[in-house]
Amino acid sequence: MNYTETTQWMFARLPMYQQKGAAAYSGKLDPVRALAAHLGHPQERIKSIHVAGTNGKGSSSHMLSAVLQQAGLKVGLYTSPHLKDFRERIKINGVMAPESFVVDFIAQHQDFIESQQLSFFELTVGMALEYFAQQQVDIAVIEVGLGGRLDATNIITPEVSLITNIGWDHMDLLGHTLPEIAAEKAGIIKPGVPVVISQTQEEVQEVLFTRANQLHAPITFADQKGYPAYTCDLKGSYQKKNIQGVLGVLDQLSQDWGITQEHIKSGLSQVQTLTGFQGRWQILSTQPTCIADTAHNVDGLTLTMQQLQSTPHRQLHLVLGFVKDKDLSAVLPLLPKTAHYYYCAPQMMRALPATSLQDIAAQHGLQGTSYNAVSQAFEAAKAQAKPDDLIYIGGSTFVVAEVV
């Protein structure tokens, strides 16, 4: 198989959360441990940083990678989901793994993958760890996919763990209270390994503190430390909270890894250039200003809508699409009733039909038109917007993926 055929096989044959939702979440570590053993335990041949959280873990992972790169290190970066190319998930110093590696990995291990009925995510974790081990990275930043305790990435023992925040998302899998969700995220805390918490949240602070103490893991609440301010090229105002956690991790690493303030300043100022990061408050064009952002849960959309309202504009246009299992009763009330809406559905099995979204949104006082494709909705918004208007594209990572 060539690269296109290989990725098509991966997407078609393996359970994939982005396409199938909860049905693709195995909720156990045995399959990925079996794959790691089959590969010769690549997670034991690399040093790593583990990043979990409801919001901000992708941004934080890319920030960490950028700073570590500026410190002269060879840095692996594993994130999910991807926007355009599967290989966005597996990078070293901002460069995607070559197509040939993906093709060869599947060809070599296809029989084992099929025999073990591995999920798409379990496979990609094993692939990333093997690539980083083969390439002898100095350190790898590993982003949790979902939760923490039972996430396939949780077979690593990192140098430092980072938990960005705890919010309402994936409650069907992680719990129906913030303390329950926090307990799942806290599952990445390892015995004796320092853990940094980006934000102090009263509802979950005790859960995280207790778990860390049980495992004799030094715990730092980064927002209580008073780190210096840095400029970051990721422009969402919510990034200030993520930067605190990143600085907390770098503080833990600085002595042993030779990380200086200059490395931090340089790395944070060019995260997008150094890592190829996309989709977070990404300005696509001006006159009118078009901004894409992958925020998709209550906490993320709350902050994003606040930023939208504070961004200068005459009229606001929102190009929106969601997945079927999104709790729209929680997110739609966050959206401005004075905006013009362009409803669409990304090209995926889990997409909520645009007409259904239009009907549900109307019940919340949000008026707009549905379109057959994301591109059509976006073009309609651009056609109607004046130069001093603001167009926002979001609701789902998969909507953003079709416009960036």
Quote the pLDDT of residue 355: 97
Q: Are residues 60 and 206 in the same domain?
A: yes
Domain boundary among 242, 275, 308: 275
Evaluate if residue 241 carries a pLDDT over 50. yes
CATH of the domain at 346: 3.90.190.20
Evaluate if residue 194 carries a pLDDT over 60. yes
Quote the pLDDT of residue 325: 84
pTM: 0.92
CATH of the domain at 188: 3.40.1190.10
Residue 66, domain extent: 3-275
Peptide bond into 81 cis (omega under 30): yes
Q: Are residues 34 and 175 in the same domain?
A: yes
Q: Are residues 242 and 312 in the same domain?
A: no
Q: What is the domain count for the chain?
A: 2
Domain boundary among 275, 306, 340: 275
Q: Are residues 222 and 352 in the same domain?
A: no
Q: Are residues 291 and 221 in the same domain?
A: no
Q: Are residues 269 and 288 in the same domain?
A: no
Q: Are residues 372 and 327 in the same domain?
A: yes
Q: Are residues 48 and 146 in the same domain?
A: yes
Give 7-27 pLDDT, tens digit per residue: 999 988 766 544 544 444 556
Q: Are residues 323 and 258 in the same domain?
A: no
Q: Are residues 262 and 318 in the same domain?
A: no
Give 85-119 pLDDT, tens digit per residue: 999 999 999 999 999 999 999 999 999 999 998 98
Q: Are residues 176 and 287 in the same domain?
A: no
Domain boundary among 275, 300, 315: 275
Q: Are residues 234 and 287 in the same domain?
A: no
A 10 A CB-CB count for 136 gives 11
Q: pLDDT category, 255, cuts 50, 70, 90? A: confident
Q: Which of 44-48, 116-120, 137-141, 378-382 has the lowest mean pLDDT?
A: 116-120
Quote the pLDDT of residue 170: 62
Quote the pLDDT of residue 350: 85
Q: pLDDT category, 196, cuts 50, 70, 90? A: very high
